[in-house]
Amino acid sequence: MPKHHTEGQITLTVVTRKGQITLPAEIRRALGLRQGDKVAVHLTGDQAIVKRAESVVARTAGAVKTERPPLSARDLRKAAEEAWAEDAVDRGQ
């Protein structure tokens, strides 16, 4: 397992033979990262900036405005059932 230590605001970590690094627990906590989460690494000159990668859903939430309130689970289910029934009729089933 890679070793790391902190010096003030800078945290050092070791690159393994496979090119992997371990983000120390304090950094994972600060970024809100858990096992399996993705991070984005942006190269700027001689620096690599690590950021928590946002999901497509999080990045696009609220991008489309609507005039009406969202459907309830019951209304959404009903609309889906009606669409399936209409599709079945269209296909002659």
Q: What is the pLDDT of residues 27-65, one digit of tens each?
A: 898 888 999 888 999 999 999 988 888 766 666 666 677
Domains and CATH numbers, the chain: 4-55 (2.10.260.10)
Question: What is the Cα–Cα distance from 64 to 80, expressed in whole angstroms?
Answer: 21
Q: What is the mean pLDDT of residues 68-74?
A: 83
SS (H, E, C) the chain: CCCEEEECCEEEECCCCCCCCCCCHHHHHHHCCCCCCCEEEEEECCEEEEEECCCHHHHHCCCCCCCCCCCCHHHHHHHHHHHHHHHHHHCCC
pTM over 0.85: no
pLDDT value, residue 21: 93
pLDDT value, residue 7: 47
Question: What is the Cα–Cα distance from 55 to 76, expressed in whole angstroms?
Answer: 24
- Indicate if the pLDDT at residue 6 is higher than 80: no
Instruction: Give percent above pLDDT 70 in the chain.
Output: 80
